[in-house]
Structure 1
């Protein structure tokens, strides 16, 4: 049985990856310091014989007694509300955490896949963004703690590949959504969903013309799985190139939820990207990967998840009154 360590296992993406590799017959070792992860995301795995969990911060020395075949590095605050609140922790996990896991991969002779992000492109001057684009990032701006943490992650990963012949894979993740996202993480999709369900006006920052491209979590997990098992070691974009403006997206959410809220506009945050859309040519040609779940279907599944959570919360509050 192949063994895989998944750092950030209790997070949104990490927990779905645990599920996928369990389903594929792997022995999964989950690791998380629970800074932003939620243990409830992986509780259903605790009784399985091929799952083990370590409550550990990878910015300190990482020891795993078992042999390892693979490592997935998905440990990091990922939403603006988190990394702006925890800038030092974000930089440390991108630098020290990545260093520790690469050292572990070297010692175990394991293949490691690290999670980078479309944020390394900053507020892009090239559209859509290809892997060859070097980015337009403000290193000392408020978003720099996340952007530069991921840029360093890529650099040190490539250094370990070149200097120590560590088998490395690098994914650049574009906006991803689905069940197990936190409603309070500050990203646009869960925020719109929560506002619509709770009867609040939907908040758009900027004039609404800025764009995003949303990939459903099952598609992203499939891309990660294929990339890990591929022979490609350079960064690869994985995302859904179906692009939509924030104004149009807000209208989609209003229609989906059947609410009658209006949209309100606020000033755009500093260094917020105006456009975000992946060029997935490499994923198509090298992996044969393309997203399968369109936004309409993905939003229905995600809305069902959020609605159940908020309905339960409302019911619990009513019993306390």
Structure 2
């Protein structure tokens, strides 16, 4: 009988790549996912395999799973700094209830379980590079605490199940995984930069000297499989030992794409200035280290995202008449632009007509609280906020939310 691997978050970016690698090994794969992040272009190809099955389920709810499994890979988690900051409750639930439910499946079936944590458990580190023994510097009530504490809970519960129930747990800590298959709605740094560069737009780099370890997806999946095939408890860092300055990454993306510009600014609060792994344990215990050069990985990512990119939407703005009175009468009406997301549309509007900027955007580039913005009947705050993707012909309606708008 071949292996049967259950993957929580199996329809996501890492999950689909892991599924493909397991199918190539001859395993049966069950992907459990609530599809909240949407369907990736690679998912239909996986569904063509008889040995692949998709179970639409929210892992924060217990899963009544009776079919034997040889391994569980727990990847389920919201992703992207903007998303996890805006949705800390669901992020914490995925890391807590979701983790317990995944561990229970492994316990019932006496299966090996690999749990994917994050480099965020190190917080804003004061040790360079970060070994697994470093306990980190995390603010439990900071803007990223929902994600950081979810991953810290994941690790603590994995260790508890191993000690109390004898579950064969393994923990990996990924560092900024990227590669083909990322969506243009992904707010992680590589995908966000490539999306903007492909649209010929500005790449805003807050803190160009901030350093990140960037690990190509194929390398990371190889590390996951090595962890699955052993009984090492971890945690084990998986990432590129050499860090890349965010400013250098932006320049590389623009050069590879052949369009876009780079603008630098001060770093944001709660963004670690340098986060790079010590991968000594991965080398010694897993015989693993990344082999893909950054320029090659970025080139492959750009090629895939270019092929999948949808044409920008034609956006028409419906704004209060009092606002229109501030714009020269010679301005063509209605106000129109081409944009791929709400953020880009508002940047065009406020840069073309600066008098409207204070009514729409804060100094940090977010929608001001005294204005609501609607796409069709939906407030964009109830969608993906400023990163809401636009396609086709759309209308953005701006309405004051309170006096003073």
Instruction: Report if TM-score (shorter chain) is over 0.5.
Output: yes
- SS state of the match for residue 275, structure 2? coil
Offset at residue 314 of structure 1 (A): 5.1
Q: Is the 8 A contact 2:200 2:261 kept in 1?
A: no
- SS state of the match for residue 30, structure 2? strand
Match of 1:169 in 2: 170
How many Å separate the matches in 2 of 1:78 and 1:133? Answer: 24
Match of 1:82 in 2: 83
Match of 1:285 in 2: 284
1:126 aligns with 2:127: yes
Under a length normalisation based on structure 1, what TM-score does the superposition of the two structures give?
A: 0.95
1:268-313 CA distances to partner (integer Å, 9 max, x unpaired)?
Answer: 3221000011110011111111111110111110010111122x43
The 3 A distance-change label for structure 1 pair 295 and 83 is same
Match of 1:117 in 2: 118
Offset at residue 242 of structure 1 (A): 2.2
Match of 2:306 in 1: 307
The 3 A distance-change label for structure 1 pair 195 and 39 is closer
How many Å separate the matches in 2 of 1:218 and 1:163? Answer: 34
Q: Could you say which structure has the higher helix fraction? A: 1
**Structure 1 unpaired stretches of 5+:** none
Offset at residue 85 of structure 1 (A): 2.3
Match of 1:250 in 2: 250
Equivalent pairs counted in the alignment come to 318
How many Å separate the matches in 1 of 2:178 and 2:48? Answer: 27
Match of 2:148 in 1: 147
**Structure 2 unpaired stretches of 5+:** 316-337, 339-390, 394-405
Aligned alpha-carbon RMSD (Å): 1.9
Q: Is the 8 A contact 1:141 1:270 kept in 2?
A: no
Q: Is the 8 A contact 2:178 2:190 kept in 1?
A: yes
Offset at residue 316 of structure 1 (A): 11
1:62-115 CA distances to partner (integer Å, 9 max, x unpaired)?
Answer: 122211110000000121122122211100010001011111111111111000
Higher-Rg structure is: 2
- SS state of the match for residue 162, structure 1? helix
The 3 A distance-change label for structure 1 pair 315 and 308 is farther
The structure, 1 or 2, with the larger RCO (C-alpha pairs under 8 Å, 6+ apart) is 1
Write the mapping of 1:192-271 to structure 2, written as runs, cut at 5 A. 192-206=193-207, 208-259=208-259, 261-271=260-270
Moved more, 163-172 or 28-37: 28-37
1:40-62 CA distances to partner (integer Å, 9 max, x unpaired)?
Answer: 43211223221111100011111
The 3 A distance-change label for structure 1 pair 234 and 320 is closer
1:114-162 CA distances to partner (integer Å, 9 max, x unpaired)?
Answer: 0001000001000001000000001100100000000000000000000
How many Å separate the matches in 2 of 1:216 and 1:250? Answer: 16
